[in-house]
Amino acid sequence: MTHDTIPAGTATPFHKILIANRGEIALRVIRSARAMGYRTVAVHSTADADARHVQEADQAVCIGEPLPAQSYLRIEAIIEAARLSGADAVHPGYGFLAENEDFAQACKDAGLVFIGPSAEAIVSMGNKAGAKTLMQAAGVPCIPGYQGEDQGEERLAREAARIGFPVMIKATAGGGGRGMRLVPSAAEFAELLRSARSEAQSAFGDPEVILERAIVEPRHIEIQIFADRHGNAIHLGERDCSVQRRHQKLIEEAPSPAVDAALRERMGATAVAAVKAIRYEGAGTLEFLLDREGNFYFMEMNTRLQVEHPVTEAVTGLDLVELQLRVAAGEALPLTQAQVRFEGHAIEVRLCAEDADQNFMPQSGTVALWKMPTRLRIEDALCSGAEIPPYYDSMIAKLISHGRTRDEARRKLAAGLEDAVALGVTTNQAFLRSCLAHPVFAAGGATTAFIGQHQAELLASDDAARARAAALAAVLLYETTGARGPRAAGRRLLHNLPISLRFELGGKAQAASVTLPRQGRFEVALDERRFAIEGLVLGEDSVRFVCDGLQEHATWFRDGATLLLQYRGLALRIEDKTRAASARQGDSGGDGKLRASMNGRVVAVLAAVGDTVAAGQPIVTLEAMKMEHVHTAPVAGRLSALHVSMGEQVGASRVVAEIEVAEAAPA
């Protein structure tokens, strides 16, 4: 199958680029566009009015309300923004409308250069079912499955049984793990199918799915390709994206530790032949599963730039956004396959606003303090005081390292990640550090099963570091209480009587006592342990100290009763409870009140007032940052009140339902 393209040799010059996206990818496009002399236009929702991509573009246009469907997914609003600003080209970034054929066609119809493939290519390769059919016809190995038009539940259940469990359900229009579910057995198929379809409809506006046999513990390998309208196509090597949670990538690297030169050549040649067969134009990525025997199977093609493109840039020395702009303007690719060179190793981690200890639940709120290490490549759009809204993806930054060897790149990234400061909103920072340090990852052995197999180890708390942090927190609370800034050294009166403090660290109650036996020395008693802290030097957001003879440093931020502390890569929230009343009984849900665990939108109400419910029974499903989260009854009893409705936006900790607790039967 081929697609209509602009005739070879035809130039399509443009001068001003509208970036139909937000956050770090919008800033990434602005950087390369500006270096090439292009003017840029940002679009934004009302929630992003003060965002960095809005501030750094030459012009900006508001296109709607916070929800993506009200702003970043409004094709007509984006086309109108281009008209208003005089933009003559559109870069879609990734996510949102980047793989929407209607958007690509609307840009073309409006006389705008779409910096990406044609609408026809997006249809055929962006849809998983269509892409598999095309790839099978081109001789590309594909995973056995079902991609038929009959989407009836009974037909899908029969096909799943034919394929054999476990099977994968995948949204045909999807990407990024949305609308994807692993089904272990037939008994779980119906519910997981409903969940996948619901998430696919919400994220992509299309509930259609395909089924595939689940390959056990594969590697996730993708090949970056580029093609121009002159018939040239090249690949830029592979990326290993095997470290994932909920089928979403967390760590990516190039090259893959599982791919040698011969396999790279075979996979690259397959990818190039595939895109040439459909006369593809622009950047794209073919994604494969690699099994233990070295067999690879086509999964899907992403007809856009990938989140993880910086690792390819690091090892090739190429600017992929620049290549996109040149190809879109009608230029031929500036290099041949023989001229592509790979140097060293690069690794990227995705810093996400999520709580790894709570099943990677998305988080939102205000960033109190944001400082990224200068010795790594950082892709972000945040600053201290910025808001992370609940409406968009949870990824807030990418940290990328490059080294001569894989281990050098890993060490650099681990050290930089430990030094990164992201206080105010819970992130997966410590979890990422644990992944990089784990022996299996260090040895290059991680498959897509890595997190599932080692989650307990990866989530294990560093008790020694947390104990020292708690002692430091006690001193900081003592020193900064009643002051807006750090106290000058020596202002405290010496005393041998202990001062009692109560605080919560990471939600856990702590009791401590602090004494000052001599100038500059604090003795902290905490959980039957004693710490000596001295040499305290407080800066506006930094602290140097000596704890039990070891000099260290940390970063801190205080707002009222809340102290935020960054220490040894741990981001900790400390709540001063010294003067607060004891927590009321029932605050944890024993009162029968079901509270929202995050800011989110109600996408399913699964029970009605008057129903008898069991503890753990699903009541309400919230969607936050493109993921669904089922909220279950905290106790057994009768659902006496339901305080939310479909489509409603709710805040974290809001009571969404109340359950009248069932009385125990008399003895």
Please choose, from the candidates 169, 158, 157, 161, the residue with its C-alpha nearest in 3D space to the C-alpha of residue 199: 169
Please choose, from the candidates 518, 519, 549, the residue with its C-alpha nearest in 3D space to the C-alpha of residue 531: 549
Q: Which positions ≥6 away from 374 have C-beta within 8 Å?
A: none
Residue 474 is which amino acid?
A: A
- The total number of residues shown for the chain amounts to 667
Could you tell me if 291 and 260 are in contact, meaning their C-beta atoms sit under 8 angstroms apart?
no
How far is it, in rounded angstroms, from Cα 372 to Cα 423? 11
Selected catalytic residue, list 245, 304, 406, 466: 304
How far is it, in rounded angstroms, from Cα 176 to Cα 209? 15
How far is it, in rounded angstroms, from Cα 481 to Cα 10? 69
Query: How far, rounded to the nearest angstrom, does the alpha carbon of residue 412 sit from its chain's CA centroid?
Result: 21
Angle at 594 between CA 593 and CA 595, to 5 degrees: 110
Q: Which residues of 157-187 are buried (b: 16+ CB within 10 A; e: fewer)?
A: eebbeebebebbbbbbbbbbbbbbbebeeee
Strand-pairing partners, residue 618, are: 632
**Tokens 């099978």 label which residue?**
136
595 in active site: no
Please choose, from the candidates 510, 363, 508, the residue with its C-alpha nearest in 3D space to the C-alpha of residue 429: 363
Strand-pairing partners, residue 537, are: 544
Could you tell me if 349 and 431 are in contact, meaning their C-beta atoms sit under 8 angstroms apart?
no
How far is it, in rounded angstroms, from Cα 93 to Cα 582? 49
Quick check: bond before 117 cis, omega within 30? no
**Tokens 């690949």 label which residue?**
235
Tell me the CB-side half-sphere exposure of residue 453, using CA atoms within 13 A: 14
CA distances from 550 to 284, 514, 521, 544 (A): 51, 19, 14, 11
Could you tell me if 443 and 386 are in contact, meaning their C-beta atoms sit under 8 angstroms apart?
no
Six-digit token string for 397: 């930054």
Q: Which residues are part of the catalytic machinery?
A: 304
